[in-house]
Amino acid sequence: MILANVIAIAISKFTIQRPNVGPEVPGLGLSVPALIAAASFGHILGAGAILGLTNTGAL
């Protein structure tokens, strides 16, 4: 899940059209709303990866 969130934040830095609208998160280059959106996307990716690995028998 942590890896999925890191990947989602990396993807969001390049794909969000206006990443600096709102209060800035220090050292990350994203605003708070952009970080919340990226973390939500990361949780969706992580849940999908966990469910997929469980269905294949890897977990």
Q: What is the pLDDT of residue 28?
A: 84
Among the listed residues 22, 44, 40, 41, the one whose alpha carbon sits nearest the alpha carbon of residue 31: 22
DSSP bridge pairs for 24:
31
Global confidence as pTM: 0.84
List per-block mean pLDDT (blocks of 10 residues) for the chain, which spans 59 residues. Answer: 94 89 88 94 96 93
Q: Where are the alpha helices (DSSP H) in 1-59?
A: 2-15, 32-56
